[in-house]
Each structure stands twice: as structure tokens, then as C-alpha cells.
Amino acid sequence: MKSLVCARPGLLEYKEIEEPNLKPGHAIIKIKRIGICGTDLHAYEGTQPYFNYPRILGHELSGDLMDTSGTNGFSVGEPVTLIPYFYCGQCIACRSGRPNCCVTIQVCGVHLDGGMVEYLQVPEYALVHGDGLGYDALAMLEPFAIGAHGISRAAVAGGEFVLVVGAGPIGLGAMEFARIAGGRVIAMDMNEQRIRFCREVLNIEQIIDATSSNINDQLMEITHGDMPLVVVDATGNKKAISGGIDWLAHGGRYILIGLQKEDICFNHPEFHKRETTLMGSRNATRKDFEWVISSIRRGWINPAPYISHRVSFNEVGNEFKHWLDPAGGAIKPMVMMTPN
């Protein structure tokens, strides 16, 4: 079968590999859609942590279940997606119900070869029922779930101002779920197209251009002098992460969803005087996936407008460099393994 391999930064190669043979406790999916995310693009440009080459990318996936042991409530032929974080089930994180940060986690498409293949074998426990959603929506559950998990970590309460820094797919998902939780969302980005998406698609009223020289003044005005009680970083940018503490209210919570490879630092007096709660937010749980599915089915979230580009699997190898260019306007490129 055909696969697309990131051989090294900047180089994607199509290669023929063997189709998987079913192992006990596993399932085989015929891939239909592959969402392209920041992890894939950062791996391509060589800036992704936890990454080794060569690697088959792809973890935002949907398809048809082709083979399974049949003991887990799934039926051959049904549409499915997967939770792409494979865990040990035995470490302290897993024992405490947090397999999303398993000590020995293996993320599909990062630590292990991913879904840019015709057929993918995954642990049965990772499967998620399609629940009536189409292939596009199923392939977008994972990025929405990451945003939902971050908002869950933040414990957003009704009426709280929530500043989300970074209006890529993860940040946009965090905005959606902050609003569902009753938060008063403030969006921040420097990309004009993403700012327009926030305004025209998500109908977010309070938007700040990250290149502004008076961000603090704008936040003070919006929040009536309080500053946001929750700040969510979805940029993975060192400068943005380090500076975000200045935008946080006293007694506030700072949630880092974005990830970058270097050390981060804060001004300790600024951090201390706020009695800041600082939290990382890694991946997502099955509960988050179920909340996303429920939110889509209730009409609270519409995945369709997020898909900014469509490309066939045979052509995707030529597109990564264009999607890395902010001028290209990529929100969620979607790879089509088949036309339906």
C-alpha cells in the first residue's frame, strides 16, 4: 500500500509498504480523511518536540473499520475515528485516569507511524464510534478535543473573561468550548485571515491584534479593569508564552496548550503577585472526545467552515510548504484518501 513518509525536515516521500496484518487486541481502519495540524507541519519544518525521522505523519483520522477481534462493541464496516494517544494503562497517570499524559505515551504520527497510509492498525481501545458523523467531522474530533481538554483544565465558569492567544485550529476549538462553558471569549492573533475567521465564523466580538502596541490597555477596557481570569496559550510560541502572564488577572489561571522545544520563563514577581495557577494541557481524554461529539450533534459546533483546503492523498506531498506560509490562510487542510 502507498504511504507518505516525512524522511527528514523538508522532505516528504511516497513509499510502498506492507499492509498490516491484524494483531490480537487491535483493529484495522481503511483511512478516508486525514486532517493536517500544527504537529504535522512542525514535524515537516523540523521544530516538533518528541519527534524522530523518518516518520509517517497523520493522527487526525477517520475511516471505515475493516477488521477487529469483535469483542469491543464495534462492527466491521462502520465509520470510526480514533484517540491517537496509545497508553500503557499501568503508570501513575493511567492509574489516576489521565492516559493522555501517560509516562510512556506513544502518539500515532509522532512517536509511532501514523495515518498517511491506506490502512492503519491501532489498538482496539483507541477506537471511537462515528455516531452518525461524516468523515470530515470525525477527522476533526481530535483537534477540537484538545481545545475542549484545555478549557476543562481551566474550569471556565460562566461570565469569566477567557483570553485565547492563537487562532489556529486548537485555539479556535478552545474558543468554542470556552464559550460553551459560559466564558466571555477574547481572541488574539496576528494573522488577518484568522482574525477574520474569529469575527465572521465564530462571531467573537472581542478580538485583539497581537501586533498592537497597547494590548494591556485593550484588555483592561474589555474586562472593565480586571484583566482575563483565564489565559489560554495556543501558539506554541516562546515569546507569546512568556509574555502571556502580563495579560492575566490576579488570582487567574494560565493554561498552556501550545508546545515548543525550548525552556520558558516568567518574571517571578509578576507570577507570584497574581498567585497564578499555571497548568499544562496535553492531548485529550475519551471524555473530551465524547463532549465534542455531543457538541457537534447538538449544533453547538459546526466543523465544516474550518476546512480551508482539500487535497487528494496523491497530491498532499507538494502542499506542506504552502500551508506553513501564513499568507496561505490554512485553517484545517483535509486530505482525501477517497472522493467520498
- Residue 116 neighbours by CB distance under 10 Å: 29
Task: Please tell me the predicted confidence (pLDDT) of residue 339.
Answer: 62
Query: For residues 216 and 321, which has the higher predicted lDDT (pLDDT)?
Result: 216
Structure confidence by residue, pLDDT tens digits, 283-316: 999 999 999 999 999 999 999 999 999 999 999 9
4 pLDDT exceeds 80?
A: yes
Cell digits of residue 293? 461529539
Structure confidence by residue, pLDDT tens digits, 249-260: 999 999 999 988
280 pLDDT exceeds 80?
A: yes
Nearest to 178 by CA among 195, 194, 202: 202
- The answer to whether the beta carbons of residues 128 and 154 sit under 8 Å apart is no
Amino acid at 97: G
DSSP conformation class of 192: H
Cis peptide before 269 (omega within 30 of 0): no
Structure confidence by residue, pLDDT tens digits, 79-91: 999 999 999 999 9
Amino acid at 142: E
In the chain, what are the domains?
A: 2-140+303-336 (3.90.180.10), 147-280 (3.40.50.720)
Confidence category of residue 147, pLDDT binned at 50, 70, 90: very high
**DSSP for 43-76, written as a single string:** HHHT--SS--SSEE---EEEEEEEEE-S-SS--T
| Torsion over CA: 1, 46, 173, 304 (sign) | negative
Q: What pairing do the DSSP bridges indicate for beta strands 11-16 and 2-8?
A: antiparallel
